[in-house]
């Protein structure tokens, strides 16, 4: 059977919260089988534990925020995306603040840290969430959908009226039976528009945002000196976000995700609708030789 995975040794890093601008210490530690991914606020008297689950999401306006008993963990999507990309099921993630550090605005730093810690297989079967029938949510001209598919594929379309985005492409499809997360998705940075950043700062947000951790655009061009890491980095980052948001379902997904102009709110609404309908999915384990190619070591996989 395909086995659950955690990291082999603890790791620690320090970064800045995108919205708070505060220094945050992040520690990632191995966790026992069937733990799932657990965030711990070590700066609270109770050392509060917040499970990374779809039903724990409490705010999706600027990032995916989870909470339990009033204790919040903000901006979890990039770190969870890296966890999905490395096939990690069980982790203890400690923070001494509310916000996961933004690092370089992508998942690359988290990938490097957790790969450096080593990946350890555990003595328990990995459990997959297999999509059994289509589930869709819409909001105006936005949509997000999960469909049956024996693998893991994401098809994302954005619609930003900006010359730099138009030039680079507004749609990307990635099938992880054929492409690796690390090379195709993991380095794509978050992005924003200069006028929006100014408005957020007036509201006391985006205090940690800079050209070092985001692609910033004015009305006509990209302001960063660094070139894009991918020709279509904007839409690839939306896929990176979606992978992190979808990992809040608590299992790797066997299915296809299709989105048009989706974001954190619609992704969470999609998972809630899925979980509300037990006939739309099943939880399954796979022998190594019968696993979907996206998750198998025998092909060009998602995780390795």
141 and 109 housed in the same domain:
no
Is residue 143 a part of any domain in this protein? Answer: yes
26 and 166 housed in the same domain:
no
Is residue 300 a part of any domain in this protein? Answer: no
104 and 143 housed in the same domain:
no
Number of H helices, E strands in the chain: 7, 19
Domain end among 64, 93, 125: 125
The distance in angstroms from the start CA to the end CA of the chain is 17
Domain end among 61, 91, 125: 125
Chunked mean pLDDT (size 10), the chain, 304 residues: 97 93 96 98 95 98 95 98 98 98 97 97 98 98 98 96 82 95 96 80 76 90 93 97 99 99 98 99 96 76 46
Domain end among 125, 145, 178: 125
pTM over 0.85: yes
State the residue range of the domain holding 254.
128-295
The CATH number linked to 195 is 3.30.1700.10
Q: Catalytic residue numbers?
A: 264
148 and 289 housed in the same domain:
yes
Is residue 304 a part of any domain in this protein? Answer: no
pLDDT of residue 219: 86
User: By C-alpha distance, which of 262, 264, 238, 236 is closest to 54?
Assistant: 264
201 and 259 housed in the same domain:
yes
pLDDT of residue 166: 79
Contacts of 205 (CB under 8 A, 6+ apart): 19, 62
Per the structure, the count of domains in the chain is 2
Report yes or no: 59 and 45 within 8 Å, Cβ to Cβ.
Answer: no
Annotated binding site for Zn(2+): 78, 237, 241
Strand partners, 7: 119
202 and 290 housed in the same domain:
yes
132 and 274 housed in the same domain:
yes
Report yes or no: 146 and 251 within 8 Å, Cβ to Cβ.
Answer: no
155 and 285 housed in the same domain:
yes
């Amino acid at each position: 059977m395909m086995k659950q995975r955690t990291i082999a040794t603890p790791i620690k890093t320090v970064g800045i919260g995108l919205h708070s601008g505060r220094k945050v210490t992040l520690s990632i530690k191995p966790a026992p089988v069937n733990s799932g991914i657990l965030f711990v606020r070590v700066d609270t008297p109770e050392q509060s534990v917040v499970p990374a689950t779809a039903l724990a999401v409490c705010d999706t306006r600027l990032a995916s925020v989870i909470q339990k008993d009033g204790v919040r963990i903000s901006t979890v999507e990039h770190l969870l995306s890296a966890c999905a990309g490395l096939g990690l099921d069980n982790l203890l993630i400690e923070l001494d603040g509310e916000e996961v550090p933004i690092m370089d605005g992508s998942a690359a730093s988290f990938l490097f840290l957790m790969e450096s810690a080593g990946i350890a297989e555990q003595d328990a079967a990995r459990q997959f969430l297999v999509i059994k029938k289509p589930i869709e949510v819409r909001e105006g001209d936005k949509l997000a959908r999960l469909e049956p598919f024996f693998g893991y594929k994401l098809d994302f379309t954005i619609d930003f009226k900006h010359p730099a985005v138009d030039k680079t492409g507004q749609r990307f499809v990635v099938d992880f039976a054929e492409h690796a997360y690390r090379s195709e998705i993991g380095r794509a940075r978050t992005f924003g528009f200069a006028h929006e950043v100014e408005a957020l700062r007036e509201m006391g947000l985006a205090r940690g945002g800079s050209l070092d951790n985001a692609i910033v655009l004015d009305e006509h061009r990209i302001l960063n000196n660094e070139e894009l890491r991918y020709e279509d980095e904007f839409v690839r980052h939306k896929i990176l976000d979606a992978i992190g948001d979808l990992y809040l379902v608590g299992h790797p997904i066997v299915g296809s995700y299709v989105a048009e102009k989706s974001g954190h709110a619609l992704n969470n609404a999609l998972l809630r609708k899925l979980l509300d309908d037990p006939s739309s999915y099943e939880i399954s384990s796979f022998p190594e030789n019968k696993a979907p190619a996206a998750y198998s070591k025998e092909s060009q996989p998602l995780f390795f």
